[in-house]
Structure 1
Amino acid sequence: MRISVPHIPQASLLAKASGIQYSREEAVERLYNFFRAGKTTVLTGAGVSVDSGIRAYRGPDGRYMNPNYKPIFYHELVDETEKGRYFRQRYWLRSYLGYPPVRDAQPNPTHFALASLQQNGDIPNIITQNVDGLHHKALILGARQSWPAERLEQSILELHGTLHGHVLDRGVFQDMLSQANPQWHKFAQEMETGKESRPRTNPDGDIAIEHLGISYQDFIVPACPTCLSEGHHNSVHKPEVVFFGESIKKEVRERSYHDIESADQLLLIGTTVATYSAFRLVKHALELKKPAILLNVGPTRADLLPNLEKINMASGSVLIDVAKLLIGTRMNDPVLEAMLRSGVVNPPTPDDDDRAPRAAG
């Protein structure tokens, strides 16, 4: 079985720019009227988290910013041979160093705009391809924990899992990695204090560190403590993230279809729709004749689909104003007012681009 990293088809990359060229004011009005037309399920991608400082995989031209990008595939991570052990050393060293920036990232205005519209009843469901947990964080911070945990879980579906989940608490496992690898713990602390420059962090917490001239083989991945207590050694730790080549759980797939079917329309934000798990949801919505808009900068896999309206614009420039218009007379609600004033805007620097050849990562 051949497994490959998802790409946008060449036909989409080479196609003439699609979509109506809206001014910012026109885009706000169009999205305002779209939301007013019915209950909207929202599907988000990595572009939503860029203003939080989490770098997207693809640039405005739709191509990977690191052309040599080589993720770990599912079958590699769980391989019980010596080769698999090396893949786990590679994955967990990079994730150990790359997790803190994602863990500490804060929601940006797009996250809070969407959270306010959830609170307002305009968005019954968000399906996100992101594993950073920022949609949850925005709702919890914005609503001041007024939403019960069950409602929170029902309103946000993490299509590809979460970087914060693990059989062990992720913070506990991070501490285990620190204790097992004191030299890397010291390096991580030096990155935190600025003594060492921080490598670029990808949306899944992965970083490329080959330029440091290190070997993954000296990184120790602790054995599963539960397994040891049962009398066998097992170092196959896996985060609650869907890896390339791994199937999405049946209940997640079914719920994603339900969220599409139960809404009146679909809004896609900050996604190139390159993964098939997301692309099939767009196709399903269109097959059901549901109105759909794509808000994204640059080409996407869905550009050539008929009846999909596209607004070529970053979400951070419009969604707060859309939310303010929709909430309107409820702006005397202190919770909603606070949410619409919240959010960091701390995108990666303009020179944070990997197009120059470098080591695979």
Structure 2
Amino acid sequence: MRVSVPNIPQSLLSVNQSANRVSIAEAIERVSTFLALGNVTLITGAGVSVDSGIRAYRGRDGRYMNPNYKPIFYHELVDETEKGQSFRQRYWLRSYLGYPSVREALPNTTHYAVAALQYAGVIPRLITQNVDGLHHAALSIVHPSPVMVQESILELHGTLHRVRCKHGHLTERAVFQDLLSAANPKWKAFADTIQKEGGALRTNPDGDVAIEHLGISYDDFVIPECPTCLLANRHNNVHKPDLVFFGESITEYVKKRSYLDIENSDRVLLIGTTLATYSAFRLLKHATELRKPVLMIDVGPSRADGVQGVQKLEIASGDIMRDVVRNVLGIRGVIDSLVEEMLSSGIRKPPPKDDDDGLEAVGQQQ
């Protein structure tokens, strides 16, 4: 089986983006005008979470910032042979060490600005490629019910915060993380040492970390049994996070709902995504085929470049979205205490550059 990591076509990587660069004031005005009439479907990517300290896959040139990035594919993770077991040991050790940085990340100013627009009904539909749950955390200010929050956001690629075994049983990630700790006391001590010393491993948006440079072997990492399967006296330690891996298809439900979200909107806004994955790019194609106005906020090359009907603004969303919300909501942004709370919330703390960063980390998704 030949499966490749999605990439932006080479012809687009060399496109001069200068024509799309705008001042902060112009960007605020253009985005505000685009959103003013409401009924907008928003599609977000990993760029939205960079200000939360979660490193993006790509830099300003559109290429992977970590040239050694080698994800595990779906068919490798679920392979029940000895080879598959080795792949799962590699995945779960790296994810075990990387998940805490995603779990502890806080929503940033863009997350809260988007939540304010959702709350006000300007953006009734949000489709995110992100698996970090930060849109949910921001929206929980106005929708304390997890069910209501979940219904308001479509996770195109799933979530890191749940784990599913091969028989379909779900386990909350916090519980699974504790099971991994109990089964691997040596690795728990290693993780505790890193945290105690204030160190951090380079974490990708999917919670995966690179640790090969430390000379670490995966061979002794123990993957726990599914607790639900054990209740039925069935042994099973084949798990995957409840997200879509490279080489895996999104569910029919998610595909249909994402199409409906585009069809039921009057216009489509894209923030922080290169649309490199086809599951996201086909939503743009669907929107343009339906002649929906499309506006994109991002920095660097994307698969949307050159697509007829797409306006693009080369600017970071964190520079403009709070002011956009104030423009669009007007007096409501002043007198509604919940809106004011959201516009006063959020961090802006992008991850520091490291030796693997070819260029400055900015808002891109896979």
TM-score relative to the length of structure 1 = 0.94
Question: Of the candidates 215, 226, 229, which is equivalent to residue 228 of structure 2?
Answer: 226
Counterpart-to-counterpart distance in 2, 1:316 and 1:70: 29
Counterpart-to-counterpart distance in 1, 2:354 and 2:218: 28
Q: Is the 8 A contact 1:161 1:240 kept in 2?
A: yes
Partner residue in 2 for 1:92: 92
- SS where residue 162 of structure 2 aligns? coil
Distance 1:214 1:308, change over 3 A: same
Unaligned ranges ≥5, structure 1: 357-361
AA of the residue aligned to 1:272: T
Using the TM superposition, give the Cα deviation of residue 290 of structure 1 relative to its aligned residue in structure 2, in angstroms. 0.3
Using the TM superposition, give the Cα deviation of residue 326 of structure 1 relative to its aligned residue in structure 2, in angstroms. 1.1
1:125 equivalent to 2:125? Answer yes
Higher strand proportion: 2
Partner residue in 2 for 1:158: 155
Counterpart-to-counterpart distance in 2, 1:149 and 1:93: 29
Using the TM superposition, give the Cα deviation of residue 17 of structure 1 relative to its aligned residue in structure 2, in angstroms. 1.9
Q: Is the 8 A contact 2:59 2:357 kept in 1?
A: no
Query: Residues 1-361 of structure 1 correspond to what in structure 2 (within 5 A)?
Result: 1-17=1-17, 19-140=19-140, 142-143=141-142, 145=144, 148-166=145-163, 167-194=170-197, 197-330=199-332, 331-351=334-354, 353-355=356-358
Distance 1:270 1:332, change over 3 A: same
Counterpart-to-counterpart distance in 1, 2:330 and 2:16: 38
Counterpart-to-counterpart distance in 2, 1:56 and 1:81: 33
AA of the residue aligned to 2:99: Y
Sequence identity, in percent? 61
AA of the residue aligned to 2:2: R
Q: Is the 8 A contact 2:143 2:149 kept in 1?
A: no
Counterpart-to-counterpart distance in 2, 1:28 and 1:261: 26
Considering only aligned residues, what root-mean-square deviation do their CA atoms show, in Å?
1.4
Q: Is the 8 A contact 1:43 1:267 kept in 2?
A: yes
Using the TM superposition, give the Cα deviation of residue 302 of structure 1 relative to its aligned residue in structure 2, in angstroms. 1.2
Using the TM superposition, give the Cα deviation of residue 19 of structure 1 relative to its aligned residue in structure 2, in angstroms. 4.6
Using the TM superposition, give the Cα deviation of residue 130 of structure 1 relative to its aligned residue in structure 2, in angstroms. 0.2
Counterpart-to-counterpart distance in 2, 1:311 and 1:236: 44
Counterpart-to-counterpart distance in 2, 1:35 and 1:229: 51
Moved more, 215-224 or 83-92: 215-224
Counterpart-to-counterpart distance in 2, 1:111 and 1:262: 23
Using the TM superposition, give the Cα deviation of residue 190 of structure 1 relative to its aligned residue in structure 2, in angstroms. 1.1
Counterpart-to-counterpart distance in 2, 1:60 and 1:284: 27
AA of the residue aligned to 1:285: A
Q: Is the 8 A contact 2:159 2:242 kept in 1?
A: yes
Using the TM superposition, give the Cα deviation of residue 354 of structure 1 relative to its aligned residue in structure 2, in angstroms. 3.6
Using the TM superposition, give the Cα deviation of residue 230 of structure 1 relative to its aligned residue in structure 2, in angstroms. 2.8
Unaligned ranges ≥5, structure 2: 164-169, 360-366
Residues paired across the two proteins, number: 352
Using the TM superposition, give the Cα deviation of residue 67 of structure 1 relative to its aligned residue in structure 2, in angstroms. 1.4
Q: CA-to-partner distance for each residue in 1:12-65, whole Å, 9 max, x for gaps?
A: 102222653311100000000000134110000000000000000001110000
- SS where residue 216 of structure 1 aligns? coil
